[in-house]
Structure 1
Amino acid sequence: MSFHKKVLMSVLRFLARWAIRKYQPGIIGITGSVGKTSTKEAVLAVLRQIRKVRASSGNFNNEFGLPLTILGGWTKAGGIFFWPKVIAVSLFRLLIGTSYPEVLILEYGADRPGDLKYLLDIARPQIGIVTAIGDIPVHVEFYAGPDAVAREKSHLVESLPAQGFAILNFDDDTVYDMRERTRAHVMTFGFGERAEIRTTNFENRMENGEPAGIAFKLEYGGSFVPVRLDGTFGRVQAYAAAAAAAVGLAFGMNLVKISEALSYYQVPPRRGKILQGIKETRIFDDSYNASPLSMHAAIDTIKEFKAKRKVAVFGDMLEIGKYAIEAHEEVGRLAAKVFDVIFAIGPRARFIADIANKTGIAKKNIFAFDTADEAKMTVQDVIAKGDLILVKGSRAMGLEKIVEEIKGPIV
C-alpha cells in the first residue's frame, strides 16, 4: 500500500470517528457474502418512515467507502480534487456543526482478514445484520478457508453491546451459529419453521403472463402480514425484506407499518430485475456480482418461470481460489437441468459449459468466450422471441455490457 493511501486512510478514519463522537447516531451494520446491498436498501425503506436516515451509496463498504458515508453521504468517488474536497468539507461541517442523520445504515465488507476489525474501529453498530455466507463464500481466496471468512464476519456481532440486536439468517447454518458469539439480543429471520421473523407463502408473481414481482407473508409473534414487492424477483429479496422487518421491530414498529414501508423498497440495479429485451425477450439482470450461493439462488429463481427457452449468460465467479473448479462445475450441473442455451464468459465459466454439456445440454447450444465484449453480438444473434435470459457473473467480468446490448428500449 502506498504512503499516500495510508495517509488518506488515517485522515478519513480520524474524521469519521470524530463525526460519530460528535453526533452519536444510531448505527446499523450489515455484513455477509451476499445480499448486503439489497438488505441495506430494504432497511432504508423501513426506517426512513420513522427516522432521519442515511445509508451507504452503492457498495461503499470498505476503508474508504464507509468513512465517506459517515462524513456526508457522498455518492461516488473519483477525480483529482475529490479527496481534498471531502477532507475540507468534512472539517468545515465538523467545526461549525450541521444537521446529521439519527441513524446510519452501513455495509461492512471483508475482502481480506482484518477488514472488519478496521471498520469496526471506525464505527461500532448497535444493530448488526449478517445476511448469508454459504459453503463457498466470495473472497475466500484471501482466507485460509470458509471458516476463516465466517470468523471475520462474526466480528460484527461480537462487537455489539448487550442492549443491541444481532439479526441473523436462520437458514444459513454458519450465520445462525453466530448467535453463540454475541451478547446482544438475537433475532432470526428466514424461511425455516423456527425463524423468529418467518417468510411463508412465497411466490414470484405473474400478471397478464408477465413477471410482476414477489409476494409472501411475514410472520412474527403469532401475527402475520402480506408483503408485495414489485419489479424484483427471487428469495434473496424476501430475505432482505425479512431482515429489514427485524430492524423495524427492534425500533418498535408493528408488522403493518413495516409491510407498508417495504412497498417503497426499490431493488438495487443489476440485482435481480427483469427487463424487457430485444426480440420480445425478457432479461433477468443479476449481473452485478456472483458467488456460488447467489448463482444457485438465481438458477432456482429462473426455474420457477415459464418461457419458450431459458438462456443463461454466466461469467466467472472470482475470488474463490482453490474452490473455483468445484464451484463452477456445480453451477454447470444445476444449469443443465434448467437452461436450453448457455453462454460461458471467462476461463472459469468454461467449467460450467463443460459440465452442462456432459449432463444434458447439446454442444450446439453452448457458447464460450473470453470476454463480454466478444460475446455480446453472438448473444444478440442467438436469442429469440419468448426467451428468458439470465445474466450473472462477478462484477469484474463486465456482463452489464451484454445486458446493455440486448435490452429493449425504455417504454
Structure 2
Amino acid sequence: MIKLTKNQILSWTGGENNFKDYNPEIANVVTDSRKIQENDCYIAIKGENFDGNDFIEQAINNKASVILSNRQSSHKEVITVEDTVIALGNIAKKYLMQFDIKKLAVTGSSGKTTTKDMLYYVFNEHFSTHRTDGNYNNEIGLPLTALNIDKGYEAAIFEMGMSALGEIDYLAQLVRPNIAIITNIGSCHIEILKSQENIFKAKMEISNYLSNDDYLIVNGDDKYLTSLSENEYKFNLIKYGFSGECQLRASDYKAVDGQSEFWVTGMGINRRFTLPAIGLHNVSNALSAIAAGLIYKIPTEKIQAGLMKFQPSKLRMQILEKNNIKYINDSYNANPESMEAVITSFESYARGRRIAVLGDMLELGEFSVAAHEKIGILASEKFDLVFFIGSQMKHAFDNFNIDENTDKRKYHFIDNNIAIEEIKRIIKYGDTILLKGSRGMKLDEIFSALTDDNMEG
C-alpha cells in the first residue's frame, strides 16, 4: 500500500474531523482490532459478534494514526462517518484510481476462486500481478484487497461474491474492471434469490461498468450465459467452452497422470494446453484465463507456463497422501453444480476403493431435496462407499442405490465426531477419499482428524 494521509481519508469519505492540522501518514488499513499497528488506519465495523467501535481506545493505545467510526468522538484520530463499510469502499475506490493497471474481476456460482487463481498464474508470467487473498470477495474483503496494491503491480485480479441482488454491482463500481468473467449460473444462494434467473441477473451486475473497450468473458456452455448477444451491449463479449459456437473452444480432452490435456482453438490460436488439474470443469476455468491472457497479448508459451504453475487455494481440490491413503479435500464449499463436477471427475484421481465424505449443500431452500436426491443417484454410480453427513444428505443417502451383487456401502451421520470415528474404523490403505460439502458443514475438521492422526491399517 502506498502511504495516504488523514486528510485524504477525510476527503474521500466525506467524514467529520475537526483537527485539520492533525494530518499523519497512514501505512496500512485494517478492520481487525487485533492486528492494529503503529500508523495504521483502523476501520471500526459492527459485525455479527463484535462491534469494532468498542475497540477505539485499544486502537489509540496501539498508535493507530486514523480511526473511522460511526460514533462521535473527541479524539483527534477519529473520523466520524455514517457507515464505516461504505467509507471503506470509498477509500478503496479512490485509492484504485491512482493506479494505471489492468483490472480483472471474476464471479460465478462455482469455480470463481479456481478461475481467479488460474488468472493470477497466467498474468503473473507476463505482468506483476496482485490477486484477492483467500475469500476476500465481499464488501469488506474486496476493498482490503484493493488497498494492498502498490506501484509495483501491473495487473490485479478481483474475486466477487454475492448472496443478493445489488451486491456485485456495488463491488463492480468500486473496481470498474477492464475484463469481467462469469464462470457459470448455478444454484448457489437460490434460497435467497429464489430463481436461477435472479442469480443470472445478480452475476451480470459485474458488467455494469464495462466501457466500449472492455470485455465480458462468459462460459458459452452455460444455458443462461450462452443466450447473451454482443449486439445487446456496448462492451466486447467473448464466449468460451466446448461448443462450436464459442470464440474460444476446447476439444480432445484427456486426463493423463493427474493432468488435463486439451486442444484450444479460436482467438487466433490453435494449440494443445496442459493443466495440472483434472476435470472438464477445470478445463472450462482455464479457458477463461486463456481468453483473458490473449486479450492482453500474453504469448501462448507464457499462458501455458502460468497454467502449469497453478495451485488451488486451501480446501479446494487439496490432494494429500498419507499412510498410502489418498485424500482429495474439496471441502471449502459446495453447490449442486460444483458437487456434480467433482464427483464426475473423481475417477481420474482414484485408485483402490473409491470413497466419498459428502456434506450438505446449504442455502438451496425448496430446491434442496431434489438436488440432494440427484447427488445420491450420481454418487451410487461413482463410489464404492459414501459417508453422507448432515440432515439434507439423508435424501442423497436414500437415493444411493446398492446392488445386491456389489460391495457398495453407505452411511449417514448428523454428527461430525461420530462420523470421524466410523470413517477411521472403515478406511484402509490404498483407498482414495473425496471430501466435499458446504463450508458450514465443517468437513475440513473431518479431513484434519483423518490426516493428523496416525492411521492403523
Asked if the contact 2:172/2:208 (under 8 Å) is kept, the reply is: no
1:54 maps to which residue?
Answer: 130
Q: Could you tell me how far 1:103 is from its partner in structure 2? A: 1.8
**Structure-to-structure mapping, 1:318-329, within 5 angstroms:** 318-329=362-373
Q: Could you tell me how far 1:305 is from its partner in structure 2? A: 4.9
Structure-2 change in CA distance of 1:310 and 1:40 (3 Å): same
Matched residue SS, 2:265:
strand
Instruction: Please give the TM-score of this superposition, normalised by the length of structure 1.
Output: 0.85
* Cα separation, 1, equivalents of 2:349 and 2:125: 34
CA RMSD of aligned residues (A): 2.5
Asked if the contact 1:117/1:155 (under 8 Å) is kept, the reply is: yes
Q: Does 1:274 align with 2:286?
A: no
**Structure-to-structure mapping, 1:4-403, within 5 angstroms:** 7-72=83-148, 99=151, 101-134=153-186, 137-179=187-229, 182-206=233-257, 212-221=258-267, 223-230=269-276, 232-278=277-323, 280-305=324-349, 307-357=351-401, 365-403=409-447
Q: Could you tell me how far 1:216 is from its partner in structure 2? A: 2.0
Work out the number of aligned pairs and report it.
377
Task: In structure 1, give the amino acid aligned to 2:375.
Answer: V
Asked if the contact 1:31/1:131 (under 8 Å) is kept, the reply is: yes
* Cα separation, 2, equivalents of 1:261 and 1:28: 16
Task: In structure 2, give the amino acid aligned to 1:107.
Answer: E
Identity of aligned residues (%): 29
Task: In structure 1, give the amino acid aligned to 2:183.
Answer: T
1:406 maps to which residue?
Answer: 450
Task: In structure 2, give the amino acid aligned to 1:320.
Answer: L
Asked if the contact 2:216/2:238 (under 8 Å) is kept, the reply is: yes
Task: In structure 2, give the amino acid aligned to 1:377.
Answer: E
Matched residue SS, 1:132:
coil
Asked if the contact 1:13/1:122 (under 8 Å) is kept, the reply is: yes
Asked if the contact 1:233/1:272 (under 8 Å) is kept, the reply is: no
* Cα separation, 2, equivalents of 1:348 and 1:327: 9
What are the Cα deviations for residues 99-150 of structure 1, in whole angstroms up to 9, with x where unaligned? 252222111111112111211221211111001123xx21111113111011
Asked if the contact 2:278/2:348 (under 8 Å) is kept, the reply is: no
* Cα separation, 1, equivalents of 2:424 and 2:261: 32
Q: Could you tell me how far 1:20 is from its partner in structure 2? A: 1.8
Instruction: Using CA pairs under 8 Å that are at least 6 residues apart, name the structure with larger relative contact order, 1 or 2.
Output: 1
Comparing 49-58 and 241-250, the one that deviates more: 49-58
**Which 5+ residue runs of structure 2 have no aligned equivalent?**
1-45, 54-69, 71-81
Structure-2 change in CA distance of 1:360 and 1:32 (3 Å): farther
Structure-2 change in CA distance of 1:58 and 1:45 (3 Å): same
* Cα separation, 1, equivalents of 2:444 and 2:104: 30
* Cα separation, 2, equivalents of 1:254 and 1:375: 49
Structure-2 change in CA distance of 1:62 and 1:305 (3 Å): closer
The structure with the largest helix share of the pair is 1
Comparing 153-162 and 334-343, the one that deviates more: 153-162
Matched residue SS, 2:83:
helix
Matched residue SS, 1:42:
helix
2:60 maps to which residue?
Answer: none
**Which 5+ residue runs of structure 1 have no aligned equivalent?**
74-97, 207-211
* Cα separation, 2, equivalents of 1:304 and 1:50: 32
Matched residue SS, 1:347:
coil
Q: Could you tell me how far 1:385 is from its partner in structure 2? A: 2.5
2:23 maps to which residue?
Answer: none
* Cα separation, 2, equivalents of 1:160 and 1:358: 52
Matched residue SS, 1:337:
helix
1:82 maps to which residue?
Answer: none
Instruction: Please give the TM-score of this superposition, normalised by the length of structure 2.
Output: 0.77
* Cα separation, 2, equivalents of 1:133 and 1:359: 35
Q: Could you tell me how far 1:218 is from its partner in structure 2? A: 2.2
* Cα separation, 2, equivalents of 1:22 and 1:385: 56
* Cα separation, 1, equivalents of 2:414 and 2:407: 18
* Cα separation, 2, equivalents of 1:362 and 1:9: 56
Comparing 16-25 and 358-367, the one that deviates more: 358-367
Structure-2 change in CA distance of 1:291 and 1:120 (3 Å): same
Comparing 247-256 and 5-14, the one that deviates more: 5-14
Task: In structure 1, give the amino acid aligned to 2:272.
Answer: P
Asked if the contact 2:388/2:413 (under 8 Å) is kept, the reply is: yes
Comparing 287-296 and 357-366, the one that deviates more: 357-366
Asked if the contact 1:310/1:340 (under 8 Å) is kept, the reply is: yes
1:78 maps to which residue?
Answer: none
Structure-2 change in CA distance of 1:187 and 1:386 (3 Å): same
Matched residue SS, 2:98:
helix
Q: Could you tell me how far 1:58 is from its partner in structure 2? A: 0.8
Asked if the contact 1:307/1:388 (under 8 Å) is kept, the reply is: yes
* Cα separation, 1, equivalents of 2:152 and 2:91: 15
Asked if the contact 1:52/1:101 (under 8 Å) is kept, the reply is: yes
Matched residue SS, 2:221:
coil
Task: In structure 2, give the amino acid aligned to 1:407.
Answer: T
